[in-house]
Amino acid sequence: MNKKAGFFCLASFCFVVVLLSANREIESEPQVEKRLFEKLDISSQPEVVTIEPEKIADQAEGDKAEQEPIAKAMAQMALVHERTFEYPSYSEPISDPDSPYLNWNQFIEVAIPILNGEFIASLNMEKYRYFYSEPINLELKTNADFIHATLDAVSVSTHEVLGSYLSDKGQWQVYPDRDWPEEVRFIARLDSEQGSDIVSADIRIYKSIAQLVSVGQSFAVGPDMTVPITLNVDEAGIYRLRANLYNVDGQPIATLVQKKRLAVGEQIVELKAFKAVLPNGVSDLELRHFMIERMSGFPGQRAGYGNSGSGHYQVGSFDSDSLTDEPYQPSLQEQKQAAFLRSLL
Q: What is the pLDDT of residue 336?
A: 81
Residue at 253 is within a domain: yes
Q: What is the pLDDT of residue 91?
A: 96
In the chain the beta strands, taken as DSSP E runs, fall at: 91-93, 112-114, 119-125, 129-131, 136-142, 146-155, 161-167, 171-174, 183-192, 195-206, 210-215, 219-221, 224-233, 237-247, 252-262, 265-274, 282-294, 304-306, 313-319
**Count of residues for the chain?**
345
To the question of pTM greater than 0.75 for the whole model, the response is no
Does 314 lie in the same domain as 227? yes
Domain boundary among 205, 223, 257: 205
Residue at 275 is within a domain: yes
Q: What is the pLDDT of residue 81?
A: 60
Q: What is the pLDDT of residue 51?
A: 55
Number of domains in the chain: 2
Does 188 lie in the same domain as 223? no
Q: How many CB atoms neighbour CB 131 within 10 A?
A: 18
Within 13 Å and on the Cβ side, how many CA atoms surround 221?
A: 9
With a cut of 70, list the residues of the chain below it in pLDDT: 1-67, 71-85, 344-345
Does 234 lie in the same domain as 284? yes
DSSP code string of 13-73: HHHHHHHHHHHHHHHT-HHHHHHHHHHHT-----------HHHHHHHHHHHHHHHHHHHHH
Q: DSSP state, 248?
A: T
- Beta bridge partners, 198, equal 189
- Beta bridge partners, 62, equal none
Does 234 lie in the same domain as 164? no
The rounded Cα 225 to chain-centroid distance in angstroms is 26
Q: What is the pLDDT of residue 4?
A: 45
Domain boundary among 183, 205, 227: 205
Query: H-helix or E-strand containing 8?
Result: helix 3-27
CATH of the domain at 192: 2.60.40.10
Q: What is the pLDDT of residue 334?
A: 74
Backbone angles phi, psi at 182, to 5 degrees: -70, -40
Q: How many CB atoms neighbour CB 113 within 10 A?
A: 12
Q: What is the pLDDT of residue 75?
A: 64
| Distances in whole angstroms, Cα of residue 188 to Cα of each of 120, 128, 142, 273 | 13, 17, 11, 45
Residue 215's domain comprises 210-322
Does 314 lie in the same domain as 222? yes
Residues 6+ apart with CB under 8 A from 292: 210, 212, 231, 239, 241, 305, 306, 307, 308
Burial call 205-221: b when 16+ CB within 10 Å, e when fewer: bbebbbbbeebeebebe
Is the CB of residue 203 less than 8 Å from the CB of residue 186?
Answer: yes
Q: What is the pLDDT of residue 233?
A: 98
pLDDT digits (tens, 9 = 90+) for 92-146: 999 888 888 888 899 999 999 999 999 999 999 999 999 998 999 999 999 999 9
